[in-house]
């Protein structure tokens, strides 16, 4: 993210993950000045852990937030092997929590929590910037 006004706090220390026996490292907190009042607010939290944590995290989050929307498909590595890929999403009008196994690599999982309104502001700013730049990727 290249927008000015976003503050990123990135940590390497372990953080306990959703009442499981797993930790998350690295993880980051992302803040932006709220256009409503100028107050810095958290709009995104994200982090990764070992893939084995995904099932326990989904179970723990289901116990707290109810049944998620589940999407399953396959991912393929560079050698051509296919693996199951699960994305669990809990959302409401204010926020979303996404747990994804095989997040950035075959052997990790990720969790992302977003503030829907503030994330839309970021996404809209990105889209406007791209639209204003001819031939932008």
pLDDT tens-place string over residues 78-87: 888 899 899 9
Residue 18 DSSP one-character state: T
- pLDDT over threshold 70, residue 12: no
Q: Within its chain, how far is the Cα of 47 from the centroid?
A: 7
Q: How many domains does the chain have?
A: 1
Please compute the mean of the pLDDT values over residues 99-126 and round it to a whole number.
90
Task: Please provide residue 48's backbone torsions phi and psi, each rounded to the nearest 5 degrees.
Answer: -130, 160
Residue 134: the pLDDT is 77
User: What is the reported pTM?
Assistant: 0.79
Residue 31 DSSP one-character state: E
Contact 57, 15 (CB under 8 A): no
Q: Residue 123: enclosing H or E segment and its boundaries?
A: helix 116-132
Contact 50, 109 (CB under 8 A): yes
Q: Where residue 76 falls among pLDDT bands split at 50, 70, 90?
A: confident
Residue 137 lies in a domain: no
Give the domain range for residue 98: 6-132
Residue 71 lies in a domain: yes
Q: Within its chain, how far is the Cα of 42 from the centroid?
A: 13
Residue 36 lies in a domain: yes
Q: Where residue 1 falls among pLDDT bands split at 50, 70, 90?
A: very low
Q: Which residue has the higher pLDDT, 47 or 10?
A: 47
């Amino acid at each position: 993210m290249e927008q000015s006004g976003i503050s990123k706090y990135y940590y390497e220390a372990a953080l306990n993950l959703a009442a499981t026996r797993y930790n998350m490292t690295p993880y980051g907190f992302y803040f932006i000045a709220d256009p409503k009042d100028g107050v810095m607010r958290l709009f995104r939290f994200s982090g990764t852990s070992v893939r084995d944590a995904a099932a326990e995290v989904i179970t723990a989050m289901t116990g707290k937030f109810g049944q998620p929307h589940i999407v399953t498909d396959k991912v393929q590595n560079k050698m051509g092997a296919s693996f199951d890929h699960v994305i669990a999403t809990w959302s409401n009008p204010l926020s979303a929590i996404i747990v994804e196994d095989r997040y950035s690599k075959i052997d990790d999982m990720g969790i992302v929590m977003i503030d829907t309104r503030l994330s839309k502001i970021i996404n809209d700013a990105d889209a406007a910037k791209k639209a204003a730049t001819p031939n932008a990727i």
